[in-house]
């Protein structure tokens, strides 16, 4: 996604989602069209915008290894499924306290 976003030349946002063990998980987003370009502070030259949380403010996460639990969580959060490509991977992550 990073390469695709940089190729588009409309700017790219990379931000933190959560932390687990010694890793920080992030998302990558870029505007698919000129109409999606955010107003305000946004790189006009197609560069990268970083949004990182401090360790203390980044929610802790844990892996979800049980297939049934993963399916239940997907059902529970079905109204927010449009965000699944942004926040969840196939192997599954969930943030605690959210």
Count the alpha carbons within 13 Å of 57 in the hemisphere toward its beta carbon.
5
- Nearest CA to 59 out of 18, 26, 9 is that of 18
Measure the CA–CA gap between 52 and 47, rounded to whole angstroms: 16
Phi, psi for 95 (deg, rounded to 5): -90, 140
pLDDT digits (tens, 9 = 90+) for 54-92: 877 888 888 888 999 888 888 887 776 665 555 544 444
pTM for the whole structure: 0.61
DSSP code of 93? E
Confirm if 62 and 20 have CB atoms less than 8 A apart: yes
For the chain, the domains span: 2-95
């Amino acid at each position: 996604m990073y390469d695709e976003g940089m190729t588009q030349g409309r700017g790219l946002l990379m931000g933190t989602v959560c932390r687990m063990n010694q890793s920080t998980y992030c998302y990558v987003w870029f505007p698919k069209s000129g109409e999606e370009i955010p107003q305000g502070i946004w790189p006009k030259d197609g560069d990268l915008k970083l949004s990182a949380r401090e360790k203390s403010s980044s929610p802790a996460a844990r892996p979800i290894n049980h297939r049934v639990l993963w399916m239940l969580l997907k059902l529970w959060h079905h109204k927010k499924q449009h965000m699944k490509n942004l926040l969840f991977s196939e192997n599954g992550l969930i943030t605690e306290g959210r």
